[in-house]
Amino acid sequence: MDADLPSTRPYLIRALHEWCTDGGFTPYIVVAVDERVQVPREFVRDGQIVLNVSFDATSGLRLGNEVVEFKARFGGIPREVVVPVDHVIAIYARENGQGMAFPAPQPASAKAAPQRLQMVTRDEARAPTDDPSGSSAEIAHSGGDGGEPPPRGGKRPTLTRIK
């Protein structure tokens, strides 16, 4: 792969955000949080935060090639949010769970094997896997995103990281 080519991630994020908005869905992003991510830390769970990035929940939303930035209220307090695009690990429609997942960012020194991500139903995520390490982990809603997370239970799809 040519190192000079720009990443497809920001383009796919913008396309899926537009698809959600045009379809009347609420776009949510899942963000891997580290020192480069500017989000309210009190809403981070297990190193991730789920953010409502609809035009109704944000002000000044900019889906750029390098960062996603906007202002939003968390617990009634206005906050500035800045997320490097490579820290967005999923974007999906809240109402039906359809969207796309991306590999989590790797530390600059780590040369880990690429991860494979797939969409599965909530029941499949709870089912035993062929992976002897049992390392699959469900991406959970962390709240603080300007809206309530979808109700638990039922056969709603969820994102599961498969290593």
Q: What is the pLDDT of residue 125?
A: 43
3-state secondary structure of 51: strand
Instruction: Round to whole Å and give the CA distance between 131 and 121.
Output: 17
CB-based burial of residue 21 (10 Å sphere; 0-12 exposed, 13-18 middle, 19+ buried)? middle
Q: pTM for this one?
A: 0.66
* Spacing of C-alpha 27 from chain mean position: 10
In tens digits, the chain (163 residues) has pLDDT values of 556 788 899 999 999 999 999 999 999 999 999 999 999 999 999 999 999 999 999 999 999 999 999 999 999 999 999 999 999 999 999 999 999 999 988 765 554 445 555 555 444 444 444 443 333 333 334 344 444 444 555 555 666 666 5
Q: What is the pLDDT of residue 146?
A: 44
Tell the CATH superfamily of the 9-162 domain: SspB-like (2.30.30.220)
Q: What is the pLDDT of residue 106?
A: 78
Q: What is the pLDDT of residue 132?
A: 38
Q: What secondary structure does DSSP assign to 89-147, as a single string? A: EEEEETTT--EEE-PPPPPTT--PPPPEEEEEEHHHHHS--S-TT---EE------SSS
Identity at 54, one-letter amino acid code: S
Helix (H), strand (E) at residue 148: none
Closest CA to 9 of 82, 79, 102, 83: 102
Closest CA to 96 of 31, 21, 22, 25: 25
